[in-house]
Amino acid sequence: MTHLPRRRFGAGLLAAALAAATTGLAGPAVAQEGTIRIVVGYPAGATSDALARVVAEHMQNTLKQAVIVENKVGAGGRIANELVKAAPADGTSLVMTPVATMAIFPHSYAGKLRYDPFKDFVPVAHLSNFQVGLGVGANVPAKTLAEYVAWVKADPAKNGFYASAASGSIPHFFGVMFARSAGLNLTHVPYKGTAAAMTAIAGGEVSAISTVAADIRALVQADKARLLAVAGEQRDASFPSVPTFRELGYDLVAKPWYGLFAPAGTPPATVERLSKAAVAAITDPALHKRLVEMGLEPTGQGPDRLAAALKEDYERWGPPIKASGFQGD
């Protein structure tokens, strides 16, 4: 399958990553003594990577200490978490991760996960929220969510398929939640990453997609896809004309986030120092604007908020994951 060029999924993200690389934030594979490394479980150019790099640059200036980003790609982000779990608890190793690896995977990989998000990590900072939504390809006749539901019900054997960028992801399970709420029999079609999923929706290989809203923006702008609804409490600033599911009568809210964690046992004073630097980065007006332009909802909150979000989402996603019957290998 031919992947869409990465630049089509957000030139701003790639530019952020390239700019960070030119300032030395990409760093060597092994951090030098005293250097803080932020480990990311996703490739360069991904939203999480771009976020980590702009935060690292600001933290470096605040802390007067080298801060680098390491990409440890694989297993949906689990490898990065395992690496930081085993790192010295001295504040030099952090992991920046989306909610899925901490609140979803304990359910979807029950008994197989090599870390415990509550016991093996210390929350440092809640960095950003992001939106998920339901989109359809340009070949689908439905222009609204109501029309899409009617279209699927008219021929579920033909129309009842939706894609996501990965099995076990929040978009995967949000699709399960939506299907139950709408009384639809939808079949999940997982792809190996965002590029493959977007290629499929643009080419008509699959009719619908549950996705991070920012990831489908390029296709919407090119009239190759439509975003029908988003799952935030408010509309996505990048898609002001797209309604929320709640506006359309579905009590569905997903609040996925990116957070910064340290290994368990990291001294409280060290956590506080790192947290203040990370929060200062997110709340810096120029950086805040930059993140909004990347399709994120910057939060910039401390350890208590991240701990609360982790608990809330762990409890929120347990039932739909169980209902889906999904178990990762």
Structure tokens at 327: 């178990």
Residues 78 and 182 grouped into a single domain: no
Residues 44 and 141 grouped into a single domain: no
196-224 residues labelled b (16+ CB within 10 A) or e (exposed) = bbbbbbbeebbbbbbbbbbbbbbbbeeeb
Q: What is the CATH number of the domain that holds 93?
A: 3.40.190.150
In this structure, what DSSP letter does residue 244 have? Answer: B
**Within a domain: 80:** yes
In this structure, what DSSP letter does residue 92 have? Answer: S
Residues 285 and 206 grouped into a single domain: no
Residues 270 and 284 grouped into a single domain: yes
- Smallest CA-to-CA distance from 170 within 240, 94, 105, 260 is with 105
Q: What is the per-residue pLDDT for 166?
A: 82
Residues 13 and 117 grouped into a single domain: yes
Residues 316 and 201 grouped into a single domain: no
Beginning with the edge strand found earlier in the chain, give each strand of the sheet holding 93-98 in spatial order.
67-71, 36-40, 93-98, 257-263, 121-129, 297-301
**Within a domain: 246:** no
Q: How many CB atoms lie within 10 A of CB 141?
A: 10
Q: Are residues 171 and 164 in contact, defined by beta-carbon separation less than 8 angstroms? A: yes
**Within a domain: 277:** yes
Range of the domain at 224: 132-230
**Within a domain: 249:** no
Domain count, the chain: 2
Q: What is the per-residue pLDDT for 329?
A: 66
Residues 121 and 154 grouped into a single domain: no
DSSP notation for 277-311: HHHHHHHSHHHHHHHHHTT-EEEEE-HHHHHHHHH
Residues 225 and 307 grouped into a single domain: no
Examine the fold and report which residue of 163, 195, 230 is the final residue of a domain before the chain moves on: 230
**Within a domain: 34:** yes
pTM for the model stands at 0.79
**Within a domain: 165:** yes
- Smallest CA-to-CA distance from 260 within 280, 237, 232, 284 is with 280
Residues 124 and 18 grouped into a single domain: yes
Q: Are residues 147 and 141 in contact, defined by beta-carbon separation less than 8 angstroms? A: yes
Examine the fold and report which residue of 195, 230, 265 is the final residue of a domain before the chain moves on: 230
**Within a domain: 239:** no
What are residue 306's phi and psi, to 5 degrees?
Answer: -65, -40
Residues 117 and 226 grouped into a single domain: no
Tens of pLDDT along the chain (329 residues)? 333 333 333 434 334 433 443 334 443 333 335 899 999 998 887 788 889 999 999 999 999 999 999 999 888 889 999 999 999 999 999 999 999 999 999 998 888 899 999 999 999 999 999 999 999 999 999 999 999 999 999 999 999 999 998 888 889 999 999 999 999 999 999 988 788 899 999 999 999 999 999 889 899 999 999 999 999 999 998 899 999 999 999 999 988 999 999 999 999 999 999 999 999 999 999 999 999 888 899 999 999 999 999 999 999 888 888 877 887 76
**Which residues are paired to 208 by β-bridges?**
136, 162
**Within a domain: 244:** no
Examine the fold and report which residue of 213, 230, 247 is the final residue of a domain before the chain moves on: 230
Residues 289 and 216 grouped into a single domain: no
Element containing residue 182 per DSSP (H, E): helix 170-182
